[in-house]
Amino acid sequence: MMPRMSRRVACSLLCGSLLVSACSDSHKSSGSGGTGSNATGSGGKSAASGSTGTFSTGSSTGQSGTGGGGPHIIYADTDDTLFTLDPTDPTLAITTVGKIDCIGPSGTPGQQSTAMTDLAVDKSQNIWGLSSYAVRPLTIQNGMVHCGTEVYVHVPDPNSTNPSFPYIKFEALTFAPEGVIKPNEVLVAGDTAGELWSIEPPGTISQHGQFGTVPADDGHGHAYQYPGKLWELSGDIVFLANNGNPVGFATVRDCMNPPDNTNCDPIDTLIEIDMSALAQQGTQNVTKSIRGQIVKSPSCGDTSGGYGSMYGIASWNDKVFGFSRSGNLVEISNVDGSACLVKNYPMDLFSGAAVTTVAPVIPPPM
């Protein structure tokens, strides 16, 4: 399989000794993943317009120190608002941090992007936001989220037939922990086609694998609609250092014609990433194991049969917290994908989530 140079624009920057590179595509809702009576969520992710800018070095120091958050913080965002979740809080309540000040309608003076697509958080809890073809440091200031200077570096896609977006377009961002790809943390982006890319200065993009093909079922009795097709990235990726034994997860889905965002399974699947395979450049399969479709656990009282459009994920201990485009906050077992709805936020259509790479994790069994 030849690398598919498509589905994202890339940006790269170097802040001190820390690599903080990125790419962007505004909000994630183009196409239709379908809906079903037993599933919540639909669609893939789409792009919005952006504008050029420059980058000035600096940290994203926030209200509680670097990164703006304490040790028990998960971040999530809608197109224009940042939220936090304390995974140690038994209520799992979401707290609104504030509006993101660089997001606004196209043409609004001083607001260059129409949506914040995703988030990434490094080991020091510096927050980075992915918007329309740009990455910016985010700083929490007086009930607002301030965007630092954007970096806008577009990479032409030789295979693109869309004149509006003739660039590589990524859908998800996270940091690879130290020692996985490089000695330092490296930003990794995922495109809809199920390919993962490292982004390093001076804007070098290297493929670090793809998710492989869809099996007949998830190993727990849940059959897939489109076995044999390539996995498509439905939502997000998250990597954790795990004290030198890195762990990674992603939310994916099976589609009839990947990566076209049409005729897709409305229920996402949680997969575990083979971090040793991710470390290598190439088109190798980086799926370590299929943890399972994100279906309702028998112990939960919610009525949905399964959950899709997990545009943001963050991991904590043995759980993956999924933030969906339909406003669901879902607690997912990293062992078998079984899930419980924590709460639906109908006015908050989530577009991303992130957690520091040094968050605690209890890896699933082999």
What share of the chain has pLDDT > 90, as a percent?
53
| Res 48 pLDDT > 60 | no
**Structural domain includes residue 362:** no
**Structural domain includes residue 115:** yes
The mean per-residue pLDDT over the stretch 110-124 comes to: 84
Average pLDDT over all residues of the chain: 79
CB distance 211 to 271 below 8 Å: yes
**Structural domain includes residue 208:** yes
How high is the pLDDT of residue 115? 86
**Structural domain includes residue 2:** no
**Structural domain includes residue 4:** no
Cα separation, 292 vs 332, whole angstroms: 10
pLDDT tens sequence across 140-151: 988 899 988 776
**Structural domain includes residue 196:** yes
Name residue, tokens 């936020």.
Answer: 345
Give the CATH number for residue 122: 2.120.10
**Structural domain includes residue 361:** no
**The domain containing residue 18 runs over which residues?**
9-355
For the chain, how many structural domains are there in total?
1
DSSP annotation of 177 reads P
pLDDT tens sequence across 216-251: 999 999 999 999 999 999 989 999 999 999 999 999
